[in-house]
Amino acid sequence: MTTDPVPTSGAPDERHTRRVLVYLAAALVAGGMPVHEVEADVRRCARAMGQPGCQLSALPTGVSLSLGYGSAATFEAVEGPLRLDQSAEVNVIQRGLESGSMSPTAALERLVALRARPHRYRVRGLYAGGALVAFGIAMILQPSLRSVAFAVACSPLVVLLMRYSGRHQLLSILFPSVAAFLVSLAAFWCARAGWVPGPLRTLLPPLAVLLPGGLIVTGLSELAATAMVAGTSRLVYGASQLLLFALGVGAAAVLLEVPPQMLANVRAHEIGWWAPVLGLPVLTVGMSLMESVPPRLVPWVLLILAGTFTAQVVGQALVPSPWFGAFLGAVAASFGARAVEAVRPRLPRLVVFLPSFWLLVPGSLGLMSVTQLGLEPGLASSTLGLSVGVVCGTAIGLVVGSSVASAAWFLGRVSRYQLRRRRPSPGSDPTAG
């Protein structure tokens, strides 16, 4: 974001108002919100600021905004993803502008300073969070004590690459392939020695936080909402990222001359029914450490994760096909996040919703199918069909859940009541209440 001088007194002029709204829109896009939702939220803020004619075009890489037909427009580039704590701060600013409790000048100052917000748990939190996330996802994806130990052991390497990839342009481009290659090399070598089962699933938990499953599903939901340019660009970018990860896995498999049976989608069952029961809270804590989530938000994140996982299990029990479980899980995640926001308006919907993508695992299944297609096409058909079904089921579930929540009159009544009862004040904590 640019750092032009911020007006300190008097009513904001048109240029200042455009800057506030376009910075808000760019921050919402950077937080991972679908562009059609960004446009709706920013227009609502504009109406609250006395600009009912606001026009906004949001894309994953930038936003353009004007305050009316024929008026001047402002463009702002999206600089990269935000952490969940930064997204929570954006929610405070948005709520303050909508309610009138935060001045446009104060909002602009906080948006300009957003990128400099320090990580709550710093470097040690990143490594500890990475290990806990790998543990939790392994307990769900590949419930084997040996696979869990492998995931925890590989997590520091992945976090190390994450930290340093952004500092070097070449490494940032090669990062998906390098991370996948190193983890896959270790997984296939351990599988050959008989130390881990199902290496293709075993290598996924350390890499799961990097996979673009959420990006692909968001793109599909944008296409369903007629945001064709944004949806198509996200899908293409997500597919290219999957190809880079698959290239790393494939290079490790070729180097070690991995036999075809090691490329099968084999799920271990060495741990009992309690594996996901333990994995969910561990995953929640780990994600909170990695993403610097405020402590008071953690129980709400766990609530949405538990609801998503329960709906997914129920769906798979009712219809013995993963796509229906993914559909119900996505419905539960999107509807639950909006319900939480209605009950606690200062809780950011996006922050409690985004972690559910780590449970629905469209990226993990996509990586398996692309890898099998490149190395052993005979094994790819079932996994490819599974991944396509999960991705489509998740995308449709998000649209259905959001639509049902928007049409639920009681959620709107609850939200308006809560906002009247407890107006947010300038500088308030998004996790309060």
State residue 418's pLDDT score: 52
Q: Which residues does 146 contact at the CB level (< 8 Å), separation at least 6?
A: 195, 196, 197, 270
Single-letter amino acid code for the residue at 390: V
pLDDT of residue 57: 94
φ/ψ of 297, rounded to 5, equals -85, -20
Residue 75: enclosing H or E segment and its boundaries? strand 73-77
User: For residue 366, what pLDDT is reported?
Assistant: 66
Spell out the alpha helix ranges (H) of 67-165: 84-99, 104-112, 122-141, 145-165
Q: Give the tokens for residue 285.
A: 């804590």
Contact (Cβ atoms closer than 8 angstroms) between residue 120 and residue 292: yes
Which ranges of the chain have pLDDT less than 50? 7-11, 409, 417, 424-433
Please give the Cα distance from 138 to 123 (Å, whole number): 23
Q: For residue 357, give the 3-state DSSP assignment.
A: helix
Give 75's strand partners: 64
Helices in 193-227 by DSSP H: which ranges? 199-202, 204-207, 213-224
Q: Which two tokens stand for residue 104?
A: 């446009």
- Report how far Cα 263 is from the mean position of its chain's Cα atoms: 28
Can you give the pLDDT at residue 399?
A: 83
Residue in this structure with the two tokens 């944008």, named with its chain if needed: 222
* Residue 243, phi then psi, degrees to nearest 5: -65, -40
> Rounded to whole angstroms, how far apart are CA atoms 224 and 231?
9
Which pTM was predicted? 0.85
Find, among 20, 35, 116, 34, the residue nearest to 76 by Cα: 20
* DSSP SS3 for 62: strand
Q: Tell me how far apart the alpha carbons of residues 19 and 289 are, in angstroms, rounded to a whole number.
A: 32
User: What is the pLDDT, as a whole number, of residue 425?
Assistant: 46
Task: Give the pLDDT score at 380.
Answer: 66
Rounded Cα gap, residues 379 and 313, in angstroms = 25
Q: Are 179 and 161 in contact (CB under 8 A)?
A: yes
CA-based nearest residue to 300, from 137, 134, 91? 91
- Nearest of 137, 155, 27, 46 to residue 85 by alpha carbon: 27
Most distant CA atoms of the chain, gap in Å: 72
- For position 12, what pLDDT does the model report? 53
- Candidates 309, 341, 318; CA nearest to 424 is 341
- What is the side-by-side order of every strand in the sheet holding 73-77? 55-59, 62-66, 73-77
Task: Name 74's bridge partners.
Answer: 65
